[in-house]
Amino acid sequence: MSSSVYLIVAFGAAIAGFVQGLSGFAFGLVAMSVWAWVIDPQLAAALAVTGALTGQIIAAVTMRRGFDLRLLAPFVLGGLAGVPLGALLLPHLDMHWFKTILGAILVLWCPAMLLSKDWPRITVGGRLADAAVGLGGGILGGLGGFTGTLPTLWCTLRGYERDVQRAVIQNFNLSMLAVTLTIYVASGIVTRSMLPMILVVLPAMLIPTIVGTRAYVGLSETGFRRLVLGLLTVSGIALLLSGLPQLLR
């Protein structure tokens, strides 16, 4: 690969690392929106999972947060069932359709929540609904490290406080990404030929991730909600810009 490709990958990793450190999620979404233009989907997925897991480990070490096991467990159990399904689908999935559909959902839904001052909280469904969302998050994680997208949106709809939501998403992502990377390595999705690119991603994201975790401390409840929904919206636009033109061709 040319040196320009490595620079673009490093740039995407740095931006994604900062965003994940700040919000607790979205490494894969942000990185993919940059990487999709220069590397193939399977390599991008492997890099996204590796980078996202590294970022979650950094966040767990630098900004430790307790968690409610009863609240977290349904998400994790659902996610554990979903990750193998996503990894199984990855080699056969049309990534252009996937990006377009996911991007359209984010672009339509998140601005509506952002503009609504009195969006009603979802209180129905209980742990079964949480597990179903965890299942979806696990599948998206297996497809490329997008573990936090659905659970983050769901926690926002549930109306969880900033720190509660951060704890759920951080611990869910950490566990799901660890399982995803293990499956990727065991199934051969991650190969030795990817190692040079991985060694570009990891140092590029290190400092931005730490800076992002420090910036999170200064966010208010309202500011955090706006940040999350804004990031989801921008990520949706980036996915549409990446996937839709390919479909129209």
pLDDT (tens place) for every residue of the chain, 249 residues total: 678 899 999 999 999 999 888 878 778 878 887 887 788 878 888 898 899 999 888 888 876 666 688 899 999 999 999 999 988 887 777 777 877 887 887 788 778 777 765 667 788 888 999 999 999 999 988 887 778 878 988 888 888 888 888 889 888 989 998 998 998 899 888 888 999 999 999 999 999 999 988 888 777 877 887 887 787 788 788 778 877 877 787
With b meaning 16 or more CB within 10 Å and e meaning fewer, what string describes 99-123?
bbebbebbbebbeebbeeeeeeeee
Q: What pLDDT does 98 receive?
A: 77
Domain that holds residue 28: 3-248
pTM value > 0.75: yes
- Split into its structural domains, the chain has a count of 1
What sections of the chain are H helices per DSSP? 3-23, 27-35, 41-62, 69-89, 95-115, 126-142, 149-158, 162-187, 195-216, 221-248
Output Rg (C-alpha) for the chain, integer angstroms.
17
Any residues with CB less than 8 A from the CB of 125 and at least 6 apart, and which? 132
Q: How far apart are CA 138 and CA 140, in angstroms?
A: 5
pLDDT given for residue 239 in this prediction: 77
The residue to which tokens 């009195």 are assigned: 118
* Residue among 112, 173, 185 at smallest CA distance from 145: 173
Q: 219 in helix, strand or coil?
A: coil
Residue 8 has what pLDDT?
92
